[in-house]
Amino acid sequence: MKRIGPASVGLIGFGALARQILASFEGQPIRWIVLLREGSTTEVPTEATVVRNLEDLVAARPHMVVEAAGQQSVAAFVPTLLQSGIPVVVASVGALADETTAAEIATARRMSGTRLIIPSGAIGGLDYLAAVACLPDTHVKYRLKKPVAAWRTELEALGLSQTTEPVTLFEGTPAEAARRYPKNLNAAFTAALTVQPAQTIVAVIADPALTANVHEIEVESTAGEATFRFSNAPSPDNPKTSFVTALSLVAAVRNFLDEGGTV
């Protein structure tokens, strides 16, 4: 089903990610529909229409919706949008670590045939991970290293707010990492989803020597060895998020619209 007329794009939430998405398409003939919770006083540009509930967002029939409001919004809104035939770009990929949410989304996709779009986020190399995922001996190590400013609360809880050495805050499965750090580990869970069913181990590190958010991925398999390292500038609005994350969402929206907005 091809798009007819100007594009319309829904945004769930209007924080730093959503603001950058809208700004990136300034001057283009796109109708924006922003879902804000009841009582929210968030300011939205005049060219965007604000709705206050999921029913009104569905009724507006956007050609696609971008979730940019955190893991809880994925469970609350994405299954219904997919069931309604509206494709969704999910920023909070870590929400899929919840088995119930993942199952509801899978059912909605299967019944409607609607696309769920998972952007690359803060990392690359996903094509390589997908290629080796089928090999029985594939092992992946994922390390997320960020400046101490991104982990201030966690370090204070450990009494290490003045650390001068790297501190490993977590090591374990991608699902547990996504649950513990819902605003930080979306890229790790994206990598884990791509390389399933291969084993992935995630480490979360606070490093006072860093000024950028660093993602390191090591892959070993019978196909060979690979190492990826991404040193990303933090978002000026949120040091826990890489600046490139919003650019990835913008690219996903642009690609979808360039394709004609097909379901």
Please compute the mean of the pLDDT values over residues 36-55 and round it to a whole number: 95
Catalytic, 139? Answer no
pLDDT at 1 over 80: no
Location of structure tokens 């100007």: 6
Are residues 126 and 197 in contact, defined by beta-carbon separation less than 8 angstroms? Answer: no
pLDDT at 99 over 90: yes
Angstrom distance (rounded) from CA 230 to CA 188 = 12
Res 2: pLDDT: 52
Say what angle helices 99-112 and 71-83 make with each other, to 10 degrees. 20
Res 237: pLDDT: 82
pLDDT at 36 over 50: yes
CATH topology of domain 7-121+244-259: Rossmann fold (3.40.50)
Question: Tens digit of pLDDT for each residue in 180-213?
Answer: 998 889 999 999 999 998 889 999 999 999 999 9
pLDDT at 28 over 50: yes
- Give the closest residue to 44 by CA, choosing from 81, 5, 14, 77: 14
Q: How far is CA 210 from CA 148, 150, 258, in A?
A: 8, 11, 37
pLDDT at 66 over 60: yes
Res 135: pLDDT: 95
- Cβ-in-10-Å burial (0-12, 13-18, 19+) of 68 comes to buried
Q: How far is CA 166 from CA 48, 94, 149, 196, 205, in A?
A: 44, 25, 13, 29, 7
Radius of gyration, alpha carbons of the chain:
19
As a whole number, the mean pLDDT across the chain is 94
Read off the pTM: 0.91
Catalytic residue among 192, 215, 247, 248: 215
Are residues 83 and 67 in contact, defined by beta-carbon separation less than 8 angstroms? Answer: no
Are residues 58 and 86 in contact, defined by beta-carbon separation less than 8 angstroms? Answer: yes
Start-end of CATH 3.40.50.720 domains in the chain: 7-121+244-259
Q: Which is the CATH superfamily of the domain at 126-232? A: Dihydrodipicolinate Reductase; domain 2 (3.30.360.10)
Question: Tens digit of pLDDT for each residue in 226-243?
Answer: 999 999 998 888 777 889
Are residues 85 and 114 in contact, defined by beta-carbon separation less than 8 angstroms? Answer: yes
Please compute the mean of the pLDDT values over residues 128-148 and round it to a whole number: 96
Start-end of CATH 3.30.360.10 domains in the chain: 126-232
